[in-house]
Every structure is written in C-alpha cells, then in structure tokens.
Amino acid sequence: MKAKFDDVLSRFEDLNEKLSDPKIINNQEKYRELAKAHADISPLANKVKKFLEMDRSIVDAKEMLKAEDDGDMTDYLRDEIKKLKSSRTKLEEEVKVMMLPRDPNDEKDIIMEIRAGAGGREASIFAGDLYRLYAKYAEGQKWKTDVMSSSPSEVGGFKEIIVEIKGKGAYSKLKFESGVHRVQRIPVTESGGRIHTSTATVAVLPGVEDIEVELNQNDLRVDIFRSSGPGGQSVNTTDSAVRITHEPTGIVVSCQDEKSQLQNKEKALRILRARLYTQLQDEQQSEVASARRLQIGTGDRSERIRTYNYPQGRVTDHRIGLTLYNLDAIMQGDINEIVENLITADKAEKLKEVV
C-alpha cells in the first residue's frame, strides 16, 4: 500500500505545482481540467496524509514506551498505542475504498430498457410493474423521468418500455439492475388461482453525449412510418414514427411516442448512441470480464438477478443472497436497501484487487 500512497501524494503535489504555473493559469481549458483533477484527488490525498501522520504517531509512541520506566506512563502509552492502531485500521479501510477505481459512467444519466420476457401477458404486466417501481424510486431521488419509447400491452403493462432517467449519480445507483427479473404470483389473468412464474429483462445504459459517440450519417438508415397504439388521434394519423437502423452493427431503434417526427428521431438517436457506447464498452472489457466475474453479477441481460415472490411477500437478490420481506414497499420504489447492498458488495469485490 505504501507505493500506492506515495503515488497519490506525488500526483497531488504535481497538480499543486501545475495549478500555480502562470502558463497553466492563462490556459483556461487546461486549468479547468487540472482543477477538476485536483478536486477529485484532494479528499484522498488528505486522508492518506492523515493515515501517515497516525503511523508516525504510533512509531513515536512505541519509542517513548521503550524509554519509559514509570508504570503509570507505561500503561498510558500502551493504551494510547492500542487506540491509535484501532483508528489507523479504520482509516486504512476508508483510504482503500477511496482508492477504488471509479466507474467513469457513475455520474451519468441513464436509459433504462424494460422488456417482457417469458410468461405471456403476465410478463407484460410485470414489465409495467417494474417501470412504475423505477419511476417511483427516481421520484424519491428527485430525478426526472421521460418515456422515450413504449409498446403497451393490451392487458396492461408493456411489451417494451424505454425510459430516460436524469439525475446526478443515476447510473451509479441503478447500473446493477440489469438482468432478468422473475415474478412468482397468481396473475389477474389466471382463473384457476395457480402461482405463475414470468420474467422481464432490464437493461441499464449510461446516457451518452453526442461527442462521446459520433454517428456517421452514411451508416444510418432512417425509416418513417405511421404510429400505432395508444397516444391520441395525431399519433395514429400522421407519419411521425421513426425507425433508425445502424447498418454496421445491425442495431435497430424505433420511437413513436411523440407526435413530432423530429422529437421521435432525436430520442431514437439518443437510444442508439447509448447502445453503441455500451457495446463498445462491453468489447473493451470482455477480457477482464472473462477473467474475473464479480459476485454481484455480470450485468448480462440473460442473468437471473432477482425474484419477487408475492405469496411470501419476499424479494431475493440472487447475486448477493439478500432476502427482504417488504415486497409491497419495494414495488412502490423503496429499493434503497437493495441498491446500497449491491454497491457495498461491488466495493468489497474491488477491494480484494486493491489489497
């Protein structure tokens, strides 16, 4: 750890020097970049300094103990060393957590795609339940939600719904929701009263700025067609729906919820950029992912991550072995305990690498 601490302090001092350089100060763009890097590393550097100071205090106290022959003073120094070691251990754990590699997407907005899976009409109803769960969670976080595309089911719920959630740190809190969600309950469509199992898939994509994913217009095929389904007269009588095909990858995005063709196109392009960005990230991280599978899961859409059991009022996250018996509250968006446990599990797994 000493080498890591030295590296942190070296980078911190280097940034201090650069920020006082007149050439840097006169270059506003460079100055802002370095100022942000300085602000990011300052809390960690200060914590490392505090840890090293405590380390020196322990060494000094031990030296004093060796030279001391007074019984009361000896007892005091031993007690002091014990307290300092306890504080140092706690501080070291805090420093390790702060040194964990940050996910560059953590502060981003997200695009969440929810699709009905196995289970027929009940799966569509469950997809709608999950959408409302996340919408209420977002509301509790003071985030904004915007439905980008939806395909309602005739029995309620959605065959597919894509929603944009805007808020600081949205990706950091919801990125572990990707995967297969399973529900066990008696469907409203089931006359026999049998417990039915159905699924819905969730994909969480980081929101992407235009400059992060540059689209070549020659790679895009844009088709305009007439909207279908709920939405009012104008939705069904104008050619406002947009389907964009990214020919190099075969990714297809359709949007028809807005009355304006332009608005549908803008939303489709945002979804396309997010999917392309995620695909590129997946390719870059494939070697790492194959070498090390996190305990909390891979984020793969085919991985079953959670079961919602209505008869028992139980929700189980299979990745971390967490079971809660407050299903009603969870379906109303109270998923803080699940989110925090997943974040903690992720940090614990990454700490093994740091150590």
Residue bearing the bigger pLDDT, 296 or 191 = 191
Which segment of 131-145, 155-169, 208-222, 330-344 scores lowest on mean pLDDT?
Answer: 208-222
* Identity at 33, one-letter amino acid code: E
* Identity at 145, one-letter amino acid code: T
Residue 197: Cβ within 10 Å count? 14
Distances (CA, A) of 2 to 30, 55, 96, 220: 30, 12, 12, 52
The mean pLDDT value for 226-237 works out to 55
Q: In which residue are the tokens 């409203």 written?
A: 188
Q: Are 202 and 112 in contact (CB under 8 A)?
A: yes
Q: In which residue are the tokens 């959670």 written?
A: 306
Dist CA 269 CA 263 (whole Å): 10
Judge whether residue 231 has pLDDT over 50: no
Q: What is the pLDDT of residues 161-198, one digit of tens each?
A: 999 999 999 999 999 999 999 999 998 767 667 889 99
The mean pLDDT value for 140-156 works out to 92
Residue 223: Cβ within 10 Å count? 11
Rank 59-63, 266-270, 312-316 by mean pLDDT and report only the highest.
Answer: 312-316
Residue bearing the bigger pLDDT, 102 or 150 = 150
Question: Is the domain covering 110-287+301-349 a CATH 1.10.1660.10 domain?
Answer: no
CB-based burial label for 284 (10 Å; 0-12, 13-18, 19+): exposed
pLDDT for res 288 = 47
Residue 219: Cβ within 10 Å count? 11
In degrees and rounded to multiples of 5, residue 260 shows phi and psi of: -95, 130
Dist CA 27 CA 95 (whole Å): 33
Residue bearing the bigger pLDDT, 284 or 25 = 25
pTM, two decimals, is: 0.72
Residue bearing the bigger pLDDT, 99 or 307 = 307
Q: In which residue are the tokens 């022959």 written?
A: 69
Dist CA 308 CA 352 (whole Å): 31
Q: Are 332 and 130 in contact (CB under 8 A)?
A: no
Strand stretches in 143-262, DSSP E: 144-152, 158-166, 179-185, 196-206, 220-225, 241-246, 251-255
Sign of CA dihedral 304, 309, 315, 321: negative
The mean pLDDT value for 340-355 works out to 81
Dist CA 222 CA 269 (whole Å): 10
Domains in the chain: boundaries: 2-98, 110-287+301-349
Dist CA 300 CA 294 (whole Å): 12
* Identity at 160, one-letter amino acid code: E
Residue 157: Cβ within 10 Å count? 23
Dist CA 160 CA 38 (whole Å): 43
Residue 294: Cβ within 10 Å count? 15
Task: Provide the 3-class DSSP secondary structure of residue 181.
Answer: strand
* Token pair in block for residue 347: 């940090």
pLDDT for res 114 = 97
Sign of CA dihedral 107, 108, 109, 113: negative
Q: What is the pLDDT of residues 233-284, one digit of tens each?
A: 444 556 788 999 999 999 999 998 888 889 899 899 989 999 998 888 777 6
The mean pLDDT value for 7-34 works out to 91
pLDDT for res 203 = 94
CA angle in degrees (0–180, nearest 5) for 103-105-110: 140
Q: Which is nearest to 273 in space by CA: 103, 106, 108?
A: 108
Conformational region of residue 169, where left means phi above 0, alpha means psi within -120 to 50, and beta covers everything else: left
